[in-house]
Each structure stands twice: as structure tokens, then as C-alpha cells.
């Protein structure tokens, strides 16, 4: 395999210096939701053009690049997103390189500790190079590692024109973490019937299934009156919201489920006794169970409204659906992954995503969208880290997939 360690490490670290944490509160009002995302998108557009690719960047705020093939193979795509999550601080990232990780505890700033006793995957890279933040922010491998991997693969192809390739499309999107990244995607420009998102985690993982996902935005209006004379008159919007939350089955929450189990997650509760807002995430792999969960929340809302006498409105918005069906209908997409991995001697294992990717939205149009690994761990946290070897191997896997499709 080709060693891309130095180049992909340096490129990834350079991308982490851009402040691209997305802002869910700005979704629908601004695209991208933060200035730093557009700054990095424009940098990527320029870098693609410097490699000789045709590019497009319009009001959708999606960078698209096109590399002409030198074979009669099938057009394929690769996709990654530039934003990082806001679960913890995602700006001001200061990456730290551990060139020869000794297998011990890593102590970062603010008391943040990476302990191989608790995070055993660290030991897989003893004696190798890993990257962390300084402990004051997440690292941003989700998904700047994916961006760096795709860019390095393109750079290699441009520098080695003798390597056979089909036409290749690449897409860099904003606001994946807010769920709005694909709302204005230029679907009419898409030519690929198979697109690989490079947005996974541990080395060797390829993901073919994800959650069905919806958000229920609940607006609660109470009746306000002086607290001293509230009996029989006051309706407290916060009390109604709390009743809804406690009515959700606690055994079906994110913190109580794993594997293929879905969940309800009350994520945001804000407001006053007069008016409050509650956001509930709903996730499930099975479509029938997913619809049942939505209906259950609607029934709880109706019951609470009847009990208290306030006014409650629930608005359901579906973010994405399970991409499994599109991947099943296009078996060549995963066949390419296994073919490439076998030639490279890489171990591949199929996993499910307890989340989603931009590829899930593409899959709704019939495009197969397997999700490839980046090598990132502990995503969306101060303890995030990534293995440089894994990034390099992911580049080789992408190149192997390209070789597969150059002949079909």
C-alpha cells in the first residue's frame, strides 16, 4: 500500500484550524450556519481547481468537483462535510501529534484524559502516530478527516495519470451536523449512481445502514396569572413540557440503548411558564417502529394538552431515512469495497450507524451510499482522537474502489 501518512496528517491538521462548528439555531435562516464553513468551502474549491478539476459552487453552498476519467467505467462520487458538531467546543482547535504513542495515558488540558484501560482501541496504535486536540475542543475528524482523505486521493490520481479511473464527482457539504446540509443540495447536477461518504469512525468499518430520523418541535402555551391567585386558572407551559418528557419511556433513551434499538431523546427544553419549546429526537432503524414512535409522541402531546388545558402544537420533520434499501438495490457499491480491501489486505467489517450521514439523503433518490471509515474515535468529544495510519489506509481503500469502478 501507498503511505500517505505525512501528507494526510498535514492536510488534516491544516483543515482543523478553520472554525467550522455549525449552529443549529441558525438552520433555515443562514446557509452555511457559520462563516467558517464557507471559508473552508472556498479553500477547497480553490484546491480542487489547482488540481485541475472542474468545480461548481452556487447558492446551495456545496462545493462540487469533477475529475474526468481515463476509462469507460461507471461515474462514482465521494462526499464529506466541512462542519463540526457543537456538542462541545468545536472552534479554536489546537491539534497535538503523538508521533510514537507509547500505549500509556494521554493527559490533555483541563483535566481531559485518554486512558487505554477505558479506550482500548488506543492500544491498536501503540508505536504509531495519533492526533488529539489539546483538550479544550473536539478535534474535528468528523468530518475534516474525510475531506482530507478525499483530497489526498484526488491529488494522487492527478499526479499519476497512468492510473485508470472513471469519471469522479466529489461533494463537500455544510451543516451535516445540524441535519440541514442536504436541504439545498444540487441534485440536478449529480451524475453518480454510487456515492461513498467518507464519514465513518474506526478503521475497517463500512456502514450500510443508518437510523430513520425525525425531530418533533413542540410549542407549548400556558395561561399566566399572578402566582398568588393561580389556583384553578394558571396553566404552566414548563410543567406541561416536563410531563411530556417524563411520559417518554426512559428505557428507550440514547443512554439506555445500543445496537438496533431506537430511542426518544428530549434534547432541548427552554421557555417560561407562559410559553415553552421542547425538541424531541426520534430514531429507529425499522420504518414501522419509527412511525410508531412519532405517533406515540403525538398521542402524549394530545393527552397532556387535554389534561392541563393549555395549547400545544407539535411539528414533525423527518431528517433522513435508513439508507439500507438503496444499498441493497445497488450491490456493486459494497462489492467494490470488499474487492478493494481484499487486494490491499485490509480487514473490513460491516457496521450500522446509530446516526446518519448526508449519504442517507442521497439514498432517498436511489443513489447507493456506503459510509467509509476515517479512523476517528470518540467523535463530538474533548477526548476525540484519530490514527494517521487509518487515514492513510482509507485513502488506499478509496483508490481501490476507484480502480474497481474504472473497469465497470
Please give the positions annotated as active site: 83, 176
Sheet with 96-98, side-by-side order of all strands: 96-98, 130-132, 385-387, 376-377
* Count of Cβ atoms closer than 10 Å to residue 383 Cβ: 22
**Closest among 200, 165, 191, 193 to 81, alpha carbons compared:** 200
DSSP structure string for 24-66: GGGTTTSSSSSHHHHHHHHHHHHHHHHTT-EEE--TT--EEEE
Using CA atoms, how far residue 76 sits from 113, 197, 369, 406, in Å, is: 41, 11, 10, 9
Size (the chain), residues: 408
Q: Are strands 212-221 and 311-320 parallel, antiparallel or unpaired?
A: antiparallel
- Identify the helix (H) or strand (E) that includes residue 151: helix 141-159
Closest CA relative to residue 6, chosen from 379, 345, 395: 395
Closest by alpha carbon to 176, among 34, 373, 48?
34
Nearest alpha-carbon partner for 106 in 94, 119, 93: 119
What is the rounded distance in angstroms from the CA atom of residue 320 to the CA atom of residue 242?
Answer: 27
Q: How many CB atoms lie within 10 A of CB 103?
A: 11
Estimate the crossing angle of helix 141-159 against helix 388-406, to 10 degrees.
Answer: 50
Amino acid at each position: 500500500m501507498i503511505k500517505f501518512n505525512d501528507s494526510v496528517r498535514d492536510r488534516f491538521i491544516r483543515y482543523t484550524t478553520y472554525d467550522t462548528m455549525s449552529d443549529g439555531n441558525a438552520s433555515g435562516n443562514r446557509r452555511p450556519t457559520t462563516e467558517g464553513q464557507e471559508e473552508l468551502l472556498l479553500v477547497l474549491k480553490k484546491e480542487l481547481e489547482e488540481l485541475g478539476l472542474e468545480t461548481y459552487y452556487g447558492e446551495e453552498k456545496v462545493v462540487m468537483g469533477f475529475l474526468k476519467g481515463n476509462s469507460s467505467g461507471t461515474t462514482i462520487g465521494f462526499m464529506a462535510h466541512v462542519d463540526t458538531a457543537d456538542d462541545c467546543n468545536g472552534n479554536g482547535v489546537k491539534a497535538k501529534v503523538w508521533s510514537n504513542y507509547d500505549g500509556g495515558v494521554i493527559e490533555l488540558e483541563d483535566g481531559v484524559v485518554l486512558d487505554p484501560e477505558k479506550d482500548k482501541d488506543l492500544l491498536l496504535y501503540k508505536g504509531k502516530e495519533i492526533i488529539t486536540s489539546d483538550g479544550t475542543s473536539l478535534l474535528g475528524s468528523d468530518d475534516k478527516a474525510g475531506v482530507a482523505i478525499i483530497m489526498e486521493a484526488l491529488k494522487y490520481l492527478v499526479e499519476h495519470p497512468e492510473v485508470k479511473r472513471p469519471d469522479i464527482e466529489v461533494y463537500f457539504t455544510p451543516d451535516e451536523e445540524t441535519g440541514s446540509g442536504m436541504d439545498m443540495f444540487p441534485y440536478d447536477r449529480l451524475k453518480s449512481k454510487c456515492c461513498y461518504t467518507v464519514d465513518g469512525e474506526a478503521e475497517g468499518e463500512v456502514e450500510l445502514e443508518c437510523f430513520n430520523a425525525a425531530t418533533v418541535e413542540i410549542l407549548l402555551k400556558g395561561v399566566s396569572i399572578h402566582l398568588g391567585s393561580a389556583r384553578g386558572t394558571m396553566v404552566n407551559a414548563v410543567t406541561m413540557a416536563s410531563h411530556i418528557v417524563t411520559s417518554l419511556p426512559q428505557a428507550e433513551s440514547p443512554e439506555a440503548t445500543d445496537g438496533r434499538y431506537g430511542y426518544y431523546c428530549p434534547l432541548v427544553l427552554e421557555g417560561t411558564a407562559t410559553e415553552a419549546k421542547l425538541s424531541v429526537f426520534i430514531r429507529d432503524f425499522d420504518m414501522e417502529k419509527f412511525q410508531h414512535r412519532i405517533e406515540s409522541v403525538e398521542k402524549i402531546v394530545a393527552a397532556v394538552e387535554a389534561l392541563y388545558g393549555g395549547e400545544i402544537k407539535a411539528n414533525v420533520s423527518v431528517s433522513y431515512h435508513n439508507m439500507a434499501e438503496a444499498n441493497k438495490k445497488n450491490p456493486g457499491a459494497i462489492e467494490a469495497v470488499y474487492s478493494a480491501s481484499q487486494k490491499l489486505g485490509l480487514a473490513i467489517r460491516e457496521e450500522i450507524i446509530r446516526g446518519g450521514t448526508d449519504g442517507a439523503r442521497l439514498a432517498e433518490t436511489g443513489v447507493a451510499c456506503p459510509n467509509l471509515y476515517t479512523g476517528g474515535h470518540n467523535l463530538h468529544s474533548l477526548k476525540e482522537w484519530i490514527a494517521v495510519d487509518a487515514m492513510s489506509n482509507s485513502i488506499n481503500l478509496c483508490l481501490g474502489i476507484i480502480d474497481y469502478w474504472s473497469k465497470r
